[in-house]
Each structure stands twice: as structure tokens, then as C-alpha cells.
Amino acid sequence: MVGALLAVAVAAAACSPAGPTPEPQYTAVPIGATPWPSGTTGQYGLHIDPSLLGKLPRSVDAEPLVEDVDSESVALDSADLARTFDGYAAATIGAVGDANWLKLAIGHFQAANQTPDVYSAWVDQYATGACSQADGVSSTAQSTINDWLVDVATCGGGPTDYTLSLGGGVVLSMFGYGPRDLGRQLIGALY
């Protein structure tokens, strides 16, 4: 019965006269990032590139790394990020307020920005922004974790910020809190 109804519906649609082509409808609300593998590009040219997350482990200490579409949607509207990066993605483990959580951003610097000065400016900018809601940056240092040279910032309120170059113009920045130190564990799992 269902097959017969489907056949009748297809035949009726094929025989009906073609109507006018509908005009596309636009909305004033910007379309946000999606977790589609091909990503999306914002108004300033920043491409949300979920494939960058493939450079990271899928989980840390048995906690899954989940694409953070909300943070990516905010990034799409950032002219500053678009001037710095040509590819960008964000992810989380847990949520702010959990006993252990981690937020991360991974980006690919534009070719002209793949310099030590731009990297250093990004390290400072990310730490300042991440710690702005946690009593500011209280200390900074460089540390070697799992053979990676890592810039570490501690926020006055307790969270820790890690930034490191993964090579090839890719930079990973993380902001997290909790006794399990998921950021340090993620760096320990990089190869």
C-alpha cells in the first residue's frame, strides 16, 4: 500500500506543471558553525575547520573531546581571528563549572603570520583572554611536556592555560581547571 502511494505521489509530481522557481529566503540572523566535516566560513573569511581536531586525541583520561560549535560561532564573527588564522576549530571536555573541564582552540596561522612574533602575541592574547574571567594572569612560564615546548599561564582564580605550536603553522591553546589537569594530559597524549 505504501509503495503504491509513493508511486502515485511521484507520478503526480512529475506530471504537474512546473511552477515559478521559488526565490531564496534570507535571514538577518547569521548561520552559525556546524559540526560538518567541511566546516563553514565566516563573514571575515575565517574558516571553521573541524579537520584540525584530527591532530588531537579523541579523548583525554577517558573523557571525549567534543567540538565546541558555540565557541566556533563566536569565532566566525571575529575580524581579529580572521586576520590571524585561515583555519580554526574549538572543542571542550566537560563544561565550565564541572570538577574537571577543558576548553581548547586549534588554529592554522595564515602564511604571513607564521612568525615567532605573531606566535608570541597569540600566546599573550589567549592567556589574557582566558584568564580575564578568572582573576587575570598570575604567572607565566615555559615548560617541556612530552617533548613539546609549552607556554603555561596560571590564572589567579586557579585555571591553567597552555599554548604550543604543533608545527606547520598550527597552534593549540587550552584553558582548563581541575585536579586531573586535562590540558597537561592532552599534551602528554600528543605524538
Residues 76, 47, 103, 32, CA torsion sign: positive
- pTM for this prediction: 0.80
> What stretches of the chain show up as alpha helix (H) in DSSP?
2-15, 69-76, 79-84, 116-131, 182-189
Cβ atoms of 61 and 182 within 8 Å: the answer is yes
The number of domains in the chain is: 1
Angle at the Cα of 158 from the Cα atoms of 153 and 184, rounded to 5 degrees: 55
Residue-wise pLDDT for 94-137, tens only, equals 998 999 999 999 999 999 999 999 999 999 999 999 999 899 99
**Looking at 7-11, 52-56, 164-168, 170-174, which range is the least confident one?**
7-11
Please choose, from the candidates 158, 62, 49, the residue with its C-alpha nearest in 3D space to the C-alpha of residue 107.
49
Give the C-alpha separation, 106 to 174, whole Å.
9
Tell me the backbone φ, ψ of residue 146, rounded to 5 degrees. Answer: 55, 40
pLDDT digits (tens, 9 = 90+) for 31-76: 455 565 677 888 899 999 999 999 999 999 999 999 999 999 999 9
- Give the residue numbers spanning the domain of 65: 2-189
